Amino acid sequence: MRAAVSSPLPGVSRLAYRRNLGRAFLVLCFAAALSGVVALLVLLATIAADGVGRLSLDFLNSYPSRFPERSGIKAALYGTLWMMAFTALFAVPVGIGAAIYLEEFAPRNWVTKVIETNINNLAGVPSIIYGLLGLTVFVRVMDLGRSVIAGSLTMSLLVLPIIIVAAREGLRAVPPWIREASLALGATRLQTVWSQVLPPAVPAMLTGIILALSRAIGETAPLIMIGALTFLAFTPDSPFIDTFPYVDPTRPAEAAFTVLPIQIFNWVSRPQPEFLETAAAGIIVLLVVLLSMNALAVVLRNHFERRRRW
């Protein structure tokens, strides 16, 4: 270590100088840590001040309109819920499957290493690039059109790396002796994973999965690319039908759709200031959805951490 700072101020002892320097630095660091909190508060306050006046049941229950005071977010809210449901349907099984393979079965060789590096890099690819991928592959080549299903598949690819990482952490938290005991009793590796490793790992995975899905809810750019509409006066069709088997998930899946962040973006980019208020109200709805998902994740994490037995 270099010699400690010598006091540049006459009449101040070196020790006092060092102590005061340390204190000043602490204040600086504390202010920096506080800046994040302040930024969040200012952001929330700005949006609340702008948007609370427009919030009402009518707002939740109306379609967008040329008139800002009549505009609502029903179509976007339904679109977001449907898109999240289908995204979870694709991304969760595939993500957990990939995690199980990488964590439990993959041989330690270069193929596995390539896959792992690749997943890390995919997590850093800008979301708009996934939009270009979805536009080309799902909308055009697979001819799914600008539908809920095309949007969900695009979002699934986007959140897959996050889900894989979360699921792997969940699996890794299960101690190896659980597996060894199960194998010693004659179970196959697959039986071991299915009935011994997965059950205790699921809660930890859930937290990460919920956070990944909340990321999908907030994403705007990829869905603009695949052409989610911004002016829709209907919600996706209900999957329930009158004839056997009474449920037809392709009905909502094939529908044109819009989602909350795209609706907000559309309102923000209009010149009339009244639409900005409408946008702020939409943001409040979006943040409420996101924060309740985050809260759910935190509650689940705390609940299951307390119950862990090893």
Partner 1 sequence: MSAAATVGREGAIAARKRRRARRRVLEAPVYAFLMACAGLSIVTTVGIVLILFEETFHFFEEVNIIDFLTGTRWTPLFQSKSFGVLPLLNATFLIAFGAMLVAIPLGVLAAIYLSEYAPPLVRSSVKPVLEVLAGIPTVVYGYFALLFISPELLRPFGQGTAFSAASASIAMGIMILPLVASMSEDAMRAVPRSLREGAYGLGANRFEVATRVVFPGALSGIVAAIILGASRAVGETMIVTVAAGNQPNLSWNPLEAMQAMTAYIVQVSLGDTPRGTIEHSTIFAIGAVLFVSTLLLNIFAQWLLAKFREVYE
For residue 174, which of 152, 204, 151, 154 has the smallest C-alpha distance?
204
User: Which residues have C-beta within 8 Å of that of residue 157, sequence separation ≥ 6?
Assistant: 130, 133, 134
Residue number, 17 or 248, with CB nearest to partner 1: 17
Contacting partner 1 within 136-165 (CB under 8 A): 136-137, 140, 157, 160-161, 164
Structure tokens at 194: 């299915």
Contacting partner 1 within 163-192 (CB under 8 A): 164, 188, 190
User: Which residues have C-beta within 8 Å of that of residue 273, sequence separation ≥ 6?
Assistant: none
Contacting partner 1 within 43-62 (CB under 8 A): 43, 46-47, 50
Does the protein bind partner 1 through residue 296 (CB under 8 A)? no
* Among 12, 16, 28, 185, interactor with partner 1 by CB under 8 A: 28
Residue number, 85 or 165, with CB nearest to partner 1: 165
The span from the CA of 301 to the CA of 226, in Å, is 35
Q: How far is the CB of 247 from partner 1 (least distance, A)?
A: 24
Contacting partner 1 within 197-236 (CB under 8 A): 211, 214-215, 217-221, 224-225, 227
Asked if 4 and 18 touch (Cβ cutoff 8 Å), the reply is: yes
Asked if 222 and 158 touch (Cβ cutoff 8 Å), the reply is: yes
Structure tokens at 78: 């339904």
Residue number, 237 or 294, with CB nearest to partner 1: 294
Q: Which residues pair with 147 in a beta bridge?
A: 256
Asked if 103 and 112 touch (Cβ cutoff 8 Å), the reply is: no
Asked if 246 and 240 touch (Cβ cutoff 8 Å), the reply is: yes
Does the protein bind partner 1 through residue 92 (CB under 8 A)? no
* Among 12, 13, 16, 21, interactor with partner 1 by CB under 8 A: 21
Contacting partner 1 within 255-294 (CB under 8 A): 261, 264-265, 268-269, 276, 279-280, 283, 286-287, 290-291, 294
